[in-house]
Amino acid sequence: MKESEKFDVNGIKGIIHYKSDKFIVCCHGLFSSKDSRKYMEMAEIANEKGISCVRFDFRGCGGSNGKFSYKLEDRLNDLEKVMKYLARRYGSIKCALFGSSLGGMVAIKYAANHEISSLAILATPYKFEIDDYVADITAEIEKCSRLLIMHGLKDELVPYKHAEIIYEKAKEPKKILFFDTNHSFTDENERRKAIKEAVKWIGKYFV
């Protein structure tokens, strides 16, 4: 089997960096894509630890077809399609989720109602409002455990108080870490530290 292969699920396009039956599935943020530096580094660091990594673009983002949407329900639907594809493609696998910003919200929403091994989120709000649309994942957070929460202390878009609220509401085991960087984790050293922490956390719960 090739270590890196592209896929297209009804217009949702992504790349699988295959190493084993242990997978980290990455969920990018609002205007981001699978080619963001943090997901490229996640694939690299995960593969070094023998963990497969999946990067994909939500509809209307990056290389994926379809209409762009900031609604959690639409992005959750995309993630569900990718997860079902992986199950068909590889059979019995173990999956963890890594999500940044809006992608972290999607990851939590998925984890609340599906069996995953663990999840790690970055710069994630528990609530946001755009136009007349309000997204609030408080109820879903309360169903989640094996959750690593990471946030930049200089986040200019989502105050780190959001991370503290998510931590308070999540079930054990859980962990919270803060980094000296902004919302996008543009500081290279802080970003790589965060990704390494995510892989370390996720690796603990693959059994």
Q: Is the pLDDT of residue 150 over 60?
A: yes
User: Mean pLDDT throughout 162-168?
Assistant: 98
Query: Tokens 């079902």 belong to which residue?
Result: 84
CA-to-CA separations, 179 to 8, 53, 62, 108, in angstroms, rounded: 35, 23, 27, 21
183: closest CA among 135, 150, 205?
150
CB 171 within 8 A of CB 144: yes
Q: Is the pLDDT of residue 2 over 60?
A: no
Find the angle CA(137)-CA(132)-CA(127) to the nearest 5 degrees. 20
Which CATH code fits 4-204? 3.40.50.1820
User: How does 119-144 read in b/e, with b if 16+ C-beta sit within 10 Å?
Assistant: bbbbbbbbebeeeeeebebeebbeeb
Residue 58 CB contacts under 8 Å (≥ 6 apart), including other chains: 12, 27, 28, 64, 69, 74, 75, 78, 79
Given pLDDT bands bounded at 50, 70 and 90, which one contains residue 1?
very low
Of 1-10, 101-110, 136-145, 165-174, the poorest mean pLDDT is in: 1-10
Given pLDDT bands bounded at 50, 70 and 90, which one contains residue 123?
very high
Find the angle CA(186)-CA(99)-CA(176) to the nearest 5 degrees. 80
CB 57 within 8 A of CB 13: yes
Looking at residue 28, its pLDDT comes to 98
Share above pLDDT 70 across residues of the chain, in percent, rounded to a whole number: 99
98: closest CA among 160, 46, 35, 158?
46
pTM for this structure?
A: 0.97
Query: What are 48-57's pLDDT values in tens digits?
Result: 999 999 999 9
Find the angle CA(127)-CA(131)-CA(132) to the nearest 5 degrees. 80
Looking at residue 3, its pLDDT comes to 60
Q: Is the pLDDT of residue 171 over 70?
A: yes
Given pLDDT bands bounded at 50, 70 and 90, which one contains residue 207?
confident
User: Mean pLDDT throughout 86-100?
Assistant: 96
97: closest CA among 62, 161, 136, 51?
51
